[in-house]
Structure 1
Amino acid sequence: MDSQPADAVEAGSTEAVPELNGSGGARVADRIRDAIVQGEYAPNQRLIEADLSATFSASRATVRTALLELASEGLVERLPNRGSRVRAISLEEAIEIIEVRIGVEGLCAAKTAGYLTDADAAELEGLREGMFASVADGDLVEYSRLNRLLDVRIRELSRHATASDVLGRLHAQSVRHQFKLSSRPQRAKVSVLQHAAIIDAIVARDPDAAERAVRDHLLSVVDALREIA
């Protein structure tokens, strides 16, 4: 992946949000994480605390806390006496992470299939409908958003705190590569069918089928990433 070093983050590149007492660091970390995943901040780009503080209307201490959280997730590097920068994650490292995710995401999908309520099933079916509609409309930004939402909801509905925590960290590191992949129209047409298969298996309350559908999807992602390398 090409790197794009920069001495500062452009003010206004991310919509400012008010700092919240007690949760400001987490909120700022979420916004920086989203910007990294979506390519607003490039690999190896420096993240200047003063600029981030102005962008997010947050104190320097809050920004520093957010950067430390993202460093613990492997998205940011803390450089001695030089501040922080976006960590460049190679394609091969991203593939290794996805291979690890196969087992853990499969576990979450199987658990979700076992715990699913009728209300949860209706929510997942709504996501399924929205994903097909976004692909049909060529709205790949919305499709990517729904992808991320589906991943989060399956983790939450699995009721498996440890797996959910592990996936949160692994997914953040590899999703930048998947975000680029999902922006390709032909790939989206394949991916949406695979996500539909995951949802269908979960809604059918079939843990084994849900686990297989996750495995098939993520192996397909690995193959597609290698093809575009």
Structure 2
Amino acid sequence: MRVAEQIRELILKGDFVPNQRLVEADLAEQFGVSRAAVRNALGELAVEGLIEREQNRGARVRVISFDEAIEIAEVRRALEGLCAGKAAAVVNDDEIAELKAIGQAMEQMVATGDLGGYSAKNRELHTRIHQISGQRTALSLIERLRGQSVRQQFALAMKPGRPSVSLSEHLAIIDAIARRDQEAAERAMIAHLDSVIRAMHEVHAAKTRSATA
């Protein structure tokens, strides 16, 4: 795995937290690579908006404000709705079976309370829909946006009752794609992202109340 991919994954998992300094020498030792390789990786991640670099102060994991997170979710809604509709138009039988298997795994994980596993399958489902759609430009943009909103996604996963709500939404998306209903697939994906945005507002409001209590 390339250095940029390894650092990106640690940010996505929350192992590297907002505002955390990313020291080239430490990362080079951690990954067993040269400082030049780390420097190039940090430059790539800065372009993606995952980190920020300051003159003479090195790199830090970038903080994403709530307002920016909402904007990102709204852009994802448009892009992912497009991908879901396109996927329904071109999906083959093997891909339908794969999406249904992911859905079944998600159901099992919600039933057993495996939130980490469910979150991973959630990402896998969205990624496979993007890939099936063949919309390479949309996929590239979505991947950048996903990295920037990972902390909000984690907070949603911990929201009581959210996985069950999210599960039904994802199953509706899978069903529409499996029926090759392009309009229904797009509507189901947009409805899911609308639900995500509402939940983000609820989580943010609860944090604000707790901070001011």
TM-score normalised over the length of structure 2: 0.92
In 2, the alpha carbon distance for the partners of 1:160 and 1:150 equals: 15
Q: Secondary structure at the match of 2:41?
A: helix
1:53 counterpart residue number: 28
Unaligned runs of 5+ in 1: 1-23
The match for 1:163 is 138
Matched-pair identity in %? 53
What residue identity is the alignment partner of 1:164? L
Deviations 1:88-131 (A, max 9, x none): 00111111110011111000111111110111011100100011
Partner of 1:201 in structure 2?
A: 176
Amino acid at match of 1:128: G
- 1:60 deviates by 1.3
Q: Is the 8 A contact 1:194 1:213 kept in 2?
A: yes
8 Å Cα contact 2:81/2:186 also seen in 1: yes
Q: Say yes or no: does 1:173 pair with 2:148.
A: yes
Question: Which residue does the alignment assign to 2:9?
Answer: 34
Task: After TM superposition, give the deviation of residue 53 of structure 1 in Å.
Answer: 1.3
Moved more, 79-88 or 161-170: 161-170
Residues 110-164 of structure 1 deviation map (CA, whole Å, 9 limit, x = unaligned): 1111110111011100100011111111110000111111111111111111111
Q: CA RMSD in A?
A: 1.2
Residues 113 and 201 in structure 1, CA contact (< 8 A), matched pair in contact too: yes
In 1, the alpha carbon distance for the partners of 2:36 and 2:150 equals 28
Aligned to 1:12: none
Q: Hey, what's the Cα distance between the residues in 2 that align with 1:194 and 1:56?
A: 39
SS in 1 for 2:149: helix
Of 174, 178, 185, 1:210 maps to: 185
1:75 paired residue among 38, 50, 62:
50
2:155 and 2:203 in contact (8 A); partners too: no
Deviation of 1:41 after TM superposition, in Å, equals 1.0
* TM-score in terms of structure 1 length: 0.86
In the alignment, the residues of structure 2 paired with residue 31 and residue 185 of structure 1 have an alpha-carbon distance, to the nearest angstrom, of: 30
Q: Which residue of structure 2 aligns with residue 99 of structure 1?
A: 74
Following the alignment from structure 1 to structure 2, what is the Cα–Cα distance between the partners of residues 183 and 54? 33
Any conservation in 2 of the 1:140–1:185 contact (CA below 8 Å)? no
Pairwise CA distance, 1:185: 4.3
Structure 1 runs of 4+ with >3 Å offset: none
Distance in 2 separating the partners of 1:149 and 1:130: 11
> Structure 1 residue 183: deviation in Å?
2.7
- Note the alpha carbon deviations across 1:15-45, whole angstroms, 9 max, x for none: xxxxxxxxx6xx2222211211221111111
